[in-house]
Structure 1
Amino acid sequence: MRRPVAVVGPTATGKSDLALDLAETLHGEIVNIDAMQLYRGMDIGTAKLTVHERRGIPHHQLDVLDVTETATVAAYQNAARADVEAILARGHTPVIVGGSMMYVQALLDDWDFPQTDPAIRAKWETVLAERGVVIVHEALKQADPVAAAAILPTDGRRMVRALEVVELTGRPFAASAPQIGEPRWGTVIVGVDRDTPELDARIELRTATMFGTGLLEEVRGLLEHGLRDGQTARRAIGYAQVLDHLDNEYDLNEAQERTFIGTRRYVRRQRSWFRRDQRVRWVDGADPELTSTVLALIDSAPTKDE
């Protein structure tokens, strides 16, 4: 059976181009693992490849949600696992690409998600909306200090989920964490990174290109489709800053600068997360022979029986 290849790592390192090269060589199909690229119409701000740029290679888990819908790791896990299984059944190679950290882990590791309770969730979402992230963070510190230390104090949505799990199960949030071991399907995990100054320059250029090629107009169009009503889509980096601009909180130049800063901050989180995973085989995105380097890594990766 063909083994999937997962191309992960920080934003703007060149993962998409590498994934396309691998898919062409390995008779593969792409499975997106970028949470914001799940949304229809969120194209410019997520650097989503156009249909032409996809080189005729089938892509899965792109444009599957409206901006009013909430993206969840559990729903993605079910859908993406089905996609990978179907690709393998066709005798093709799944090439999984993206940098959404929890989504990667949900797809490749054993992770059973606790059930949800709408009443508990609504209670904490109301607290978040009416009293803010500081109060929610304090509540989480009381209920589960370890989770409070691990979750960013600005990540209200994840703190609400942690409080829901703790209240629903009576156990710490970490008790529902994924079990790290052999990646599902024997997947070879490749991490792409670059030197920080080079990556910063790429992020700055990407951000400028987004704002220069119509991100503002894209957000205005998405507002007509309910962007403000979505719980996750409107918080995406770039989209949140443009919405603040449209609310007259700051001018467009500052929105662009805040998007750049927010992306750099997100890159630090991605690096920290993926570098902890000892299964990841790291490569330099600036390597002129990058595809050949990765193909050699794939060939040399041990199988389950070795």
Structure 2
Amino acid sequence: MGTAQPPAGWPTTTKPVIAVVGPTGSGKSDLGVELALALDGEVINADAMQFYRGMDIGTAKISVAERKGVPHHLLDTMDVTEEASVSAFQAECRAAIDDIHGRGKRAILVGGSGLYVRAALDVLEFPGTDPEVRQRLEQEHEATGLHRLQERLRTVDPVSAERLGDARRVIRALEVFELTGRAFSSFMPTREYFQAAVQIGLDVDRAVLRDRLAERVRRMVDAGLLDEVSRLDAVGLRRGKTASRALGYAQFLRVLDGEADVAVASEETIVATRQFARRQLTWFRADPRIHWLDWRDPGLLAKAIEICEAQVPVI
């Protein structure tokens, strides 16, 4: 892969933003901390569920001790009743990057929420919203079902209709079309960096990861996941459109409701987490700009540093 000069408009004195990506359970948080210690950096969280205060056990949120003194940004910034927004994250993340780089440090983005990573790194425009349009579409969904909305979306935006299968995203796609006259798919990001960046991907052994994710869920349960869900339920977890869908939390709310026992909820969480990890791998594998490294390589940190310190090719 050859090297090239950054396009016009990119900073010429600031080193690239570093992003550590990959599936859940692959060790991104640990590598992010080690890179920050080695490169005088600070970490920015790009895991959407780790924005939420109190969602610690079920999100495997890195503890204060595990941060080893490295500043972490965009952790614990929201209540569970608030809805996460990719566009808001984009603005907050880019402000954090500017602040970190302005102090001569390295910004290190860490997380597996693919669209949030793309929003931070890539040229990506977000269309506006209209509460009245959104409410009308939500009421229509309740009255007629998802199938009718999908049929309508197929007539105005067949690309999105093929990609989107849940009500929230179908409603959003229809809302965007009503407001802009443009297909929702036309707003999807291109693989063009907003500013100089380098991405490190953690390449996993899938069989080993499957076992590791199952064991991690069991440790979460032993550490008090049900109690954490119960505490958050008391402060409005169910009202949160984003937080209530988080892996583990949705399953263990069913335990509180008497619809499942801990064993069933644990197994459902393991299955859902494995499925999520597969989707993450599919998402990140589609990006040819990512430098993949073996997650269990003893020389992982050294190889990651070498990539981060090299001149970054423009793709």
TM class by shorter chain equals: over 0.9
Q: What letter corresponds to residue 304 of structure 2 in structure 1? A: V
- The 5 Å alignment of 1:107-256 reads 107-129=120-142, 132-151=145-164, 153=165, 155-181=166-192, 183-256=193-266
Question: 2:74 is matched with which residue?
Answer: 61
SS in 2 for 1:127: helix
Question: 2:64 is matched with which residue?
Answer: 51
SS in 1 for 2:263: helix
SS in 1 for 2:26: coil
Determine if the alignment matches structure 1 residue 298 to structure 2 residue 308: yes
RMSD over aligned CA atoms reads: 1.6
Q: Quickly say closer, same or farther: Cα 1:37–1:165, change in 2 above 3 A.
A: same
Q: Pick from 268, 283, 287 the counterpart of residue 258 of structure 1.
A: 268
Shift of 1:50: 1.2
For the Cα contact (< 8 Å) 2:22–2:202, is it kept in 1?
yes
Shift of 1:184: 3.0
Shift of 1:51: 1.2
Shift of 1:141: 2.9
Shift of 1:135: 4.4
Q: What letter corresponds to residue 94 of structure 1 in structure 2? A: A
Distance 1:92 1:141 in 2: 47
Shift of 1:130: 5.2
Shift of 1:248: 2.2
SS in 2 for 1:185: coil
Q: Quickly say closer, same or farther: Cα 1:26–1:206, change in 2 above 3 A.
A: same
Distance 2:224 2:126 in 1: 38
Q: What letter corresponds to residue 74 of structure 2 in structure 1? A: Q
Shift of 1:133: 4.0
Q: Does 22-31 or 158-167 show the bigger shift?
A: 158-167
Structure 2 alignment gaps of length 5 or more: 1-13
The count of aligned residue pairs is: 302
Question: 2:25 is matched with which residue?
Answer: 12
For the Cα contact (< 8 Å) 2:154–2:161, is it kept in 1?
yes
Alignment deviations for residues 144-181 of structure 1 (CA, whole Å, 9 cap, x no partner) = 22101112x2x322222111111211221111112322
Q: What letter corresponds to residue 82 of structure 1 in structure 2? A: A
Alignment deviations for residues 57-80 of structure 1 (CA, whole Å, 9 cap, x no partner) = 100000111001000100000001
Q: What letter corresponds to residue 70 of structure 2 in structure 1? A: I
Q: Quickly say closer, same or farther: Cα 1:118–1:145, change in 2 above 3 A.
A: same
Distance 1:177 1:20 in 2: 31
